[in-house]
Structure 1
Amino acid sequence: MPEHVMKPGWFTVHVLNRAVTWFTRRGLSVWGARVLAVRGRKSGEWRRTPVNPLTLGEHRYLVAPRGHVQWTHNMRVAGGGQLLGRKVEEFTATEIADDDKPEILRAYLKRWKAEVGVFFGGVGPGSTDEELRAIAPKHPVFRITTKS
């Protein structure tokens, strides 16, 4: 596994993610989290994982704090997915270029640093654009557009 990917531990996978998913699917958002459903790029089956969506201005984003993980690979192939919660939101996804990520990463870290800051190697919301740009290739970001 590439060094910039932090694989979740047993507790995260088997306890924390399942608990967040269970609550979120019943309309009880845990700190604003949602469940991302995206089709597997090989199996075509729905894959689910908790995510922390970010609203910035008029756009919404999904940021991959753990790096290039399965859901990011699947998203690139599927071109969209669903956000699950009290309601299902179908969306299309557009990947953001690394040079365009600093403002998004700063806002994401400002909102979610307590939960995901460990995955950003000491870079935080107060970091310079240069520091954020340096880590941008390690953290895929997708702008999501809800289908009408």
Structure 2
Amino acid sequence: MTATATHYRAPEGADATFNRVVRWLADHGVNLAGAQNLTVAGRRTGKPQTVPVNLLRLDGREYLVSPRGNTQWARNARVAGTVELRRGRRRRTVALAELDPALRPPIIAEYLRKWGWEVGRFLPEGLSAKPTDDELVRHAASIPVFAVGHTE
């Protein structure tokens, strides 16, 4: 059975507080485990939403992975097509292209190799922070992955 793209774990309590701290640190140029801030316009309100993300560099490409699942930023990015990535004073606007679930497993595997210790508890049920190939294939549709393309 293949997992659906409906997986979503919203930050709450201590996680929401931690996200605010990481967002503040990234805004001030402090690189906490590679965190950057992603800002995207809300798909309904148009208001900017900013969240910390881990930008994965793999084989000369950059990717954004949403281990919490179909998050607000992922839904907003699908509609907007572009986001701003920021760490300290460095800002860049990038285009995002969501990858087909069949292409996601090796990217998710590398993301979890680097940040599984941080995001493991947000993964869909049945997917571990040190997944097997079968787990990756089964859950790839529930973890959005975006290829990053430069626009500025």
TM value normalised by structure 2: 0.89
Match of 1:21 in 2: 23
- 2-structure distance, mates of 1:110, 1:59: 17
After TM superposition, the structure 1 = structure 2 runs for residues 1-148 of structure 1, keeping only pairs within 5 Å, are: 4-13=7-16, 15-86=17-88, 87-120=90-123, 121=125, 122-128=127-133, 130-148=134-152
Q: Indicate if the aligned counterparts of 1:82 and 1:90 stay in contact, CA closer than 8 A.
A: yes
**Relative contact order higher in (CA < 8 Å, ≥ 6 apart):** 2
Q: Note the residue ranges of structure 1 that are not aligned, 5 or more in a row.
A: none
- 2-structure distance, mates of 1:20, 1:126: 26
- 2-structure distance, mates of 1:4, 1:140: 10
Measured after TM superposition, the shift of residue 125 of structure 1 is 4.1
Superposition CA RMSD, Å: 1.5
- 1-structure distance, mates of 2:148, 2:131: 25
- 2-structure distance, mates of 1:92, 1:6: 25
- 2-structure distance, mates of 1:116, 1:104: 15
- 2-structure distance, mates of 1:3, 1:41: 18
Q: Indicate if the aligned counterparts of 2:55 and 2:64 stay in contact, CA closer than 8 A.
A: yes
> How far does the alpha carbon of each residue in 1:51-93 deviate from its partner, in whole angstroms, 9 at most, with x for none?
1110011110110011001111100000011111120011000
Pair 1:139–1:126, CA change in 2 (3 A): closer
Aligned length: 145
Measured after TM superposition, the shift of residue 145 of structure 1 is 1.1
Measured after TM superposition, the shift of residue 123 of structure 1 is 2.8
